[in-house]
Amino acid sequence: MPCSRCEALPPPLPRDGILYMAPPIAPTSRLLEELFAALQAPCTQACFPGLLQSACSLDLLETVAARLGEELHQQELRDTKCLYLPHGNALEVGHLLRMQTLEQLLTRIRGEWLADMLAAGRIETWFQPIVHASAPREVFAYECLMRGRTADGALVLPQEIFSVARKADLLFQLDRACRISAVEAAHRHGIRHKIFINFIPTTIYRPEACLQTTFQAIQTRGLNPAQVVFEVTESEHVSDSNHLLTILHYYRTHGFRHALDDLGAGYSSLNLLSLLRPDFMKLDMQLIRHVDQDAYKAAITRNCIELARQLQVASIAEGVETPGELAWLQAAGVDYVQGYCIARPAPEPPRP
């Protein structure tokens, strides 16, 4: 059965409702009471001890969101639990299990555009080629990169989208939408090279459920599993390495390959390299920047490339921007390269 956590978008926030809040300490509670009273939406004690309630509208909450960001510090926003119910919905014990942080609710209010973007299917995939270092005009694979569109067609870059998704608890749905979009776009453009699809391990509870629709899309679109490389992103946030191993084992048993992103961005990536034993490792773009001019970066990068060779892991240098960087990497023996020096990301798979 598919994962409802990944596939079900939260319902639209009601225009008018009751906001319930459970502050962590009494001073936070008093501050909230004063703030809502000043906005003509006084707080009262709800039916459960320590729980405040206030009848307010979504428009008022948008005003409150800006004020609370100034009056409460981040930890108070994270530790204050809340729930926004439509008028007429009586508060029940079961509702308390659905309480989220005040930070998540306020971000959701400010980022309602993202929930609308996901509901309307305005996530799209751009492509950037990964080429053979020894033959930079020969495409080896395409990395699938996410972009979003506003309702009027304006482009939204991934940094902003992922930042809002994390705080608004929409990361599960976003990550799934990106995977499905990548598969469909690769099929639509008739790509026969390998495709690198990013995934965030923390958005997958159980692969047999959370990845079911992704695998169905791959099968329906006729992609060969050996053509697909799942790329572990945000590896610095991986706290449960055993869970990540379970996900990657699931990929391997279904014929897919995997890559470790951003090698060299932190000490944890080297630990993950020994644990995950990926098919590909991607050298972080900050390591590659000016590698032809910086002796420290050159020494580290050369050792990473040699390490990959000894481990029989294919090496990919990301963020190659200049001919000098490319020439240095070719001389150092890296297997593949990608970056602006080769081609910029584009909606149509670009040629080098």
- What pLDDT is attached to residue 66? 76
- What pLDDT is attached to residue 10? 77
Backbone angles phi, psi at 262, to 5 degrees: 60, 40
Helix axes 241-253, 267-276, angle to 10 degrees: 40
- What pLDDT is attached to residue 317? 97
Q: Which domains does the chain have, with CATH numbers?
A: 4-110 (3.30.70), 116-337 (3.20.20.450)
Q: How far apart are CA 222 and CA 212, in angstroms?
A: 16
For residue 142, the SS3 value is strand
Least confident span in 28-32, 203-207, 276-280: 203-207
- Nearest 10 degrees: CA dihedral of 181, 187, 193, 197? 20
For residue 283, the SS3 value is strand
Neighbour tally for 30: CB within 10 Å: 12
Query: CB neighbours of 32 closer than 8 A, spacing ≥ 6?
Result: 21, 23, 43, 52, 80
Buried b (16+ CB within 10 A) or exposed e, 108-129: bbbbbebbebbeeebbbbbbbb
- What pLDDT is attached to residue 20? 93
**pLDDT 10s digits, 167-222:** 888 999 999 999 999 999 999 999 999 999 998 888 888 888 888 899 999 999 99
Least confident span in 129-133, 149-153, 265-269, 295-299: 265-269
Alpha helices by DSSP H, listed for 241-294, are: 241-253, 267-276, 285-288
For residue 229, the SS3 value is strand
For residue 130, the SS3 value is strand
Q: How far apart are CA 24 and CA 32, in angstroms?
A: 12
Report strand pairing: 100-101 vs 135-149.
unpaired
| Predicted confidence (pLDDT) at residue 312 exceeds the cutoff of 70 | yes
Confidence of residue 109 (pLDDT cuts 50, 70, 90): confident
Decide which of 9 and 115 is more confident.
115
Chain length of the chain: 352
Q: How far apart are CA 5 and CA 200, in angstroms?
A: 15
- Using the 8-state DSSP alphabet, how is residue 183 labeled? H
What is the reported pTM? Answer: 0.84
- Cα–chain center distance at 115: 14
Confidence of residue 136 (pLDDT cuts 50, 70, 90): very high
| Predicted confidence (pLDDT) at residue 131 exceeds the cutoff of 70 | yes
Alpha helices by DSSP H, listed for 8-142, are: 26-38, 58-71, 74-79, 93-96, 102-110, 112-119
Confidence of residue 265 (pLDDT cuts 50, 70, 90): low
With contact defined as beta carbons under 8 Å apart, do 318 and 283 qualify? yes
Q: Containing H/E element for 166?
A: helix 158-167
In percent, the amount of the chain with pLDDT more than 70 equals 95
- What pLDDT is attached to residue 269? 67
- What pLDDT is attached to residue 121? 95
**pLDDT 10s digits, 220-256:** 999 999 999 999 876 556 667 788 888 889 999 999 9
Confidence of residue 263 (pLDDT cuts 50, 70, 90): confident
Confidence of residue 17 (pLDDT cuts 50, 70, 90): very high
Site of tokens 């932190």? 266
With contact defined as beta carbons under 8 Å apart, do 351 and 140 qualify? no
- What pLDDT is attached to residue 5? 63
Mean pLDDT for the chain overall: 89
With contact defined as beta carbons under 8 Å apart, do 108 and 328 qualify? no
- What pLDDT is attached to residue 3? 65
- HSE-up of residue 161 (Cα within 13 Å, Cβ side): 25
| Predicted confidence (pLDDT) at residue 7 exceeds the cutoff of 80 | no
Decide which of 144 and 66 is more confident.
144
Query: CB neighbours of 44 closer than 8 A, spacing ≥ 6?
Result: 52, 53, 54
pLDDT (average), residues 146-151: 96
| Predicted confidence (pLDDT) at residue 28 exceeds the cutoff of 60 | yes
- What pLDDT is attached to residue 266? 53
Neighbour tally for 11: CB within 10 Å: 8
Confidence of residue 4 (pLDDT cuts 50, 70, 90): low
